[in-house]
Structure 1
């Protein structure tokens, strides 16, 4: 829980500072999507509900009105034409983009509403500054690119003055740039006029304080495992870097184990389809598959089956609870708190980055022989993609083996 805050003594600027420095990182650490407009309940969940009272009693603001000053929509519109502009081509393309987000990205309605609101603000400002909101027609000719970049810059100059935090400015820029990228993918734009806008400003991206498990902590958790299902659960989170919902719904049909490049296939992930390499732990996985198949002739194929669940498998909250029970049994704490399953995924990322550093350090001698002081030049120019992948995985496998203290490897 956060330390006690004297909310009533905070000015509006100070509340915005608390929002950017303390509340948003807390919401992110709790797993909430910062692209969606936060709710009062979410603030209560992370211990910052007191801000709502002081906004109402001391600043005559609702939470929605305050959130509008830090980059969120005050009242997400359900109007079929929320754009407040008169350029029909732009309206049509904005509506098409929002429909694409709704139908293909599997985003929450609150996230879509927030993106719609930011784009509406941008289009309206563009109209006010330039006399029209022709965001599309000028993008088909590269000769217009310098002038259009200047027009977009003028809009972001206004947003730079109006918005309070760098984080909110960057969210606006991200949504606008993604709209232009959508037009490029559809062949309706020759360039993205917002693609390099960030370089014009001194906006700083806040570094989320994402705590991760250490290698020693992972080893301690793994050591207390006494069930095959829990062993696989820890591997899936920490050695494969899966999200807890992905672990819960893992199905045998996703596993590609017989090829030289064993992996898990995902038709849908948070950022689209993809695969996850099984660098470590394949023997444990095979043992689990054999045990499930042998113990139940009617096994439904899920690696974490549940007869009580309608979907036939456990849910992400169960993965979280099991992982935390193991951590408590191992007496593992991160900053005084029981670690979450997400910290296992973060361990995977930090381990991968460390293994990349190991690889570059081992390329120093080759780089010197090539007359280069930068080993990344060797990695990029003198090794094939297949060789780079092989070396990365070897160093990653070694680090994972050190963490799990096992001879089990792929």
Structure 2
């Protein structure tokens, strides 16, 4: 049961042809005149992007780029876990677990991998319910369980000690890995942490100019930007029908987030992340049907988080000392240090003037340098 099996992405041509057929016969909705991104993805923009997906995007080229890296699957607790395993030429390199978030996949790290392979052995999983780790059943929204599975993957690869880098959902997994296995996790590097979106607005008094910009962005997000989260956190199955049946809906669902969460200087998603990278990510969700299962993972994760927060104060426990942590804050992030790190536990806090939620795609040079400097300083 501990077997690690070679894996290669091979989407059947019938599935590629079916996607093109669906992108040709779209039943477009009406759009209210004079409206724009404030109501969602504008119709003219999406029509153009769909046309490029159908006629300009080369899935086979994207598939070949992914297949250039060694890939494997192993089964943990009944769940198949897919991962890239890119060994450094340096046999003494530090193992580094790279964990993606939503709405992302292993594609998020394609431009980061070449920048890190001198210093690290890289393990890049598809989280359960995402991409090429199709969901085996309920319960994988529980990030404690996911963290346990990631630790087991590293054990099977022979990595008793390792580091982590992550954002979004992956950052939650990385944090729990550090909590559950402080003896194994050398350090944790995360990007983009923010206050809980269902919490109160951030007060501006006493904040620096840069923090006020992030606070206003967070306050706007919690007022106008969490519709996607509310839907996935409460009615994932209703949403699943649209995501499983319509590639246009899957594209709009993800493209909207790439537009809202990337570098504020970028007007359109492709101004921050190239169209081919965006469409590779969307295509993986489409071909694997994991737009729907990722929504269920979010639902379970939100339920588990609420239960955890409600019970956190009931039985206080003394937690082990966590390994060192670093945070990288990019231009689109809403992170304010005293809210994210009230106890001053973060040993390295770096702020950048470009990039956003998809830091590994938007600013891989900045992220790679920060990761290397942090772990080098740890010895």
TM tier relative to shorter chain: under 0.3
Q: Normalising by structure 1, what TM-score? A: 0.20
**More helix per residue:** 1
Which structure has the greater CA radius of gyration? Answer: 1
Higher relative contact order (CA 8 A, sep 6+): 2
